[in-house]
Chains A and B, each alone.
Chain A
């Protein structure tokens, strides 16, 4: 592993693709509780084969490598229709934050088990009363001898029920303006007083939880950055998440589109879908949108290399959302009278999957900063329009 790791991932694409074609698990159960352990197994396999360490510092369990290596891996996973590894929040959100802002001791403690999938992470940002207005969050972290006492309620915590650790935004100083009194704490979910309750989404899955903290003790060494840094860390995390998300998601949508066209052919052959001008135009338009997005993502890779992607990432987030929603709406609409059914009227039409994918696509304009939040960022921080 150490010898090959010196070679950039971009030069090992053929090898990676061969490996993925051979090793990608194809028989994952749909049920989340049965599925999750398999995703953990998949992450370990990726790590042990030397792929997952790309883009992570070598002294903390990674292989070294450049800033785009992680993106290349996620794109290749998407292209191979391989599952996303279990520890996606740790790998995509908390890990990069610790790499940039953590102490060496924190990196040494947390990164290796995060990469191997031994410890799964969640992020405790949103609250029932603090969604788009994240800075008004109410979870408190009270300073005590040797640490903090955390109390509050988080919601929409992705993978919360499987997480050993949670990156929690909490108010450490109620006496300063709301953006300034927030800190980021790493909370051990095995601590006394930490509890999760699965929340079922409109897709029928329970990918997230409500997360309750009742006087949970968090030691000082689990504070990321300085007290009061939390808001800026959160903005940085969300902005850094957007670029790679666009690049990966674009490939996933393209793979989805291929499946949709194939399904359309099946439905036309079965006589339940008319191959008319309306259908053709929508298919052609979705194709054009995907090619547009692919070209956009190619340009984005340059910015990811240079690390100079600022608030304009919000434009990418809007674009990918628009395309995702158009493509999966097409996938849903061609089901015709079977829309919303979980059983197949035509063998192989997979009404259940395409209905879920459609419903899931509607979340794209809500999570990671709702469309309205992105528009505000674009208007004020990219275009410089005056604040109200």
Chain B
């Protein structure tokens, strides 16, 4: 599936880390990336597109590497839709300039992150995927600072189909599969950042005349965070592997639900390590926690673990 070299994922990760270290924050990132780094971002915007469409033809491993960094830096932006949905659709349709931001509406009524700032809204219809013009995006208030959700009103909008029939179904399934990879990568990055923050803080914060990280109760909590963080990473690796094979959506969705639960455990432990400082909004930890909670919520249409268990029991 991926034409890229094995170390390509590492290269993506390095460049993403470098760009995000300069620009990331939950405020104004989009504007800055657009203004200053659009050219450098070309790799992101064309990551998944086929080489014929001027893309890099990368696969799930590279996608995971990019989103791991996006999560690690809590980088606000419509990256899942722009990188995944647009990446796959550029092979079929002209979506405008490389740097156009995309919103993807998988079904009517779904909440779309950053729909209000998207340049192009892509809509999955009953038998096609099309570009919507004149749609109304109504922002929803959210605790999550890194994703600005909106509801989309298609009344009065025109939708121009760009992919139809069986091909539309195939593309929609691929989008769902790769979006799960992207979101899992983001979860892994968020968990990694929360762990790093906790290790640093526990080494600096002094109580009872010593760094709190010298207390066994705190050490053991942080050690278990490292274990659980590794579980998120490994679940991500399994999700990446599954993304390359057809017909494994139930399995992938179950692993996503599992990974999100584990990531949640990690960020909540980070809050406990940070104590009152972590609960104060002046510290960035709360934004990581809320992002994980939202990512857990958006993935779970239905109950994938329960459904998969039912399938296994049915034989």
Name A residues whose Cβ lies closer than 8 Å to a Cβ of B: 261, 264-265, 268, 275, 277, 279-285, 287-289, 291-296, 298-299, 315-316, 318-319, 322, 372, 374-376, 378-380, 382-388
Contacts and interface: CB of A to CB of B under 8 A. Distances in A.
A265 B313 contact: yes
B223 interface: yes
Nearest to A316: B230
Nearest to A297: B234
The 7 closest A-B pairs by CB, nearest first: A284-B309, A283-B309, A280-B309, A284-B305, A379-B219, A288-B258, A378-B223
Given A285-B258, A375-B219, A375-B224, A298 B313 contact: no
Q: Which of B216, B234, B304 has the most CB of A within 10 A?
A: B234
Contact of B313 (A261, A299, A375, A387): A261
20 contacts: A277-B306, A279-B309, A283-B312, A284-B306, A284-B312, A287-B309, A292-B238, A292-B259, A293-B234, A295-B234, A295-B238, A295-B241, A296-B231, A318-B227, A376-B216, A382-B223, A384-B199, A384-B203, A385-B213, A386-B214
Interface string B196-232: 0001001100000011011110111011101100110
A277 B223 CA distance: 32
Nearest to A289: B258
B164 interface: no
A378 B237 CA distance: 22
A292 B315 contact: no
Contact of A374 (B211, B216, B223): B223
B255 interface: yes
B30 interface: no
Interface string B230-267: 11001101100100000000010011011100000000
Contact of A287 (B211, B231, B259, B308): B308
Contacts of A387: 214
B234 A315 contact: no
A181 to B, nearest CB: 26
Interface in B259-315: 259, 303-310, 312-313, 315
Contacts of B306: 277, 280-281, 284
Contacts of A291: 235, 238, 251, 255
**Which of A284, A299, A316 has the largest count of B CB atoms less than 10 A from its CB?**
A284
B254 to A, nearest CB: 5
Contacts of B211: 386
A388 B214 contact: yes
Main secondary structure on A side of the interface with B: helix
Given A319-B227, A378-B227, A383 B222 contact: yes
B230 A315 contact: yes
Interface of B: 199, 202-203, 210-211, 213-216, 218-220, 222-224, 226-227, 230-231, 234-235, 237-238, 241, 251, 254-255, 257-259, 303-310, 312-313, 315
B237 A298 contact: yes
Nearest to B224: A375
Given A295-B238, A295-B241, A386 B258 contact: no
A28 to B, nearest CB: 28
Contact of A385 (B202, B238, B254): B202
Contact of A264 (B223, B230, B241, B313): B313
A387 B238 CA distance: 35
Contact of B308 (A284, A298, A374): A284
Nearest to B315: A265
A277 B222 CA distance: 33
A284 B304 contact: yes
A265 B313 CA distance: 6
Nearest to B226: A378
Contacts of A375: 219-220, 223-224
A284 B223 CA distance: 26
B216 A388 contact: yes
Contacts of A261: 312-313
Given A291-B238, A378-B227, A281 B222 contact: no
Contacts of B313: 261, 264-265, 268, 275, 279-280, 283
Given A318-B227, A379-B223, A285 B215 contact: no
Contacts of B237: 295-296, 298-299
Given A375-B223, A386-B210, 14 more contacts: A280-B307, A281-B306, A284-B306, A287-B309, A288-B308, A295-B234, A295-B238, A318-B223, A375-B224, A376-B219, A378-B227, A379-B213, A382-B226, A386-B213
A292 B222 contact: no
A285 B305 contact: yes
Contacts of B303: 281
B306 to A, nearest CB: 5
A315 B229 CA distance: 10
A295 B235 contact: yes
A366 B310 CA distance: 33
Contacts of B235: 288, 291-292, 295
Contacts of B304: 284
Nearest to A382: B226
Interface centre among A277, A296, A374, A384 (most CB of B within 10 A): A296
Contacts of B310: 275, 280, 284
Given A386-B203, A388-B215, A376 B223 contact: yes
A246 to B, nearest CB: 11
A315 B223 CA distance: 8
A154 B237 CA distance: 43
A388 B213 CA distance: 8
Contacts of A279: 309, 313
Given A375-B224, A386-B203, A292 B258 contact: yes
B11 to A, nearest CB: 19
B227 A385 contact: no
A1 to B, nearest CB: 35
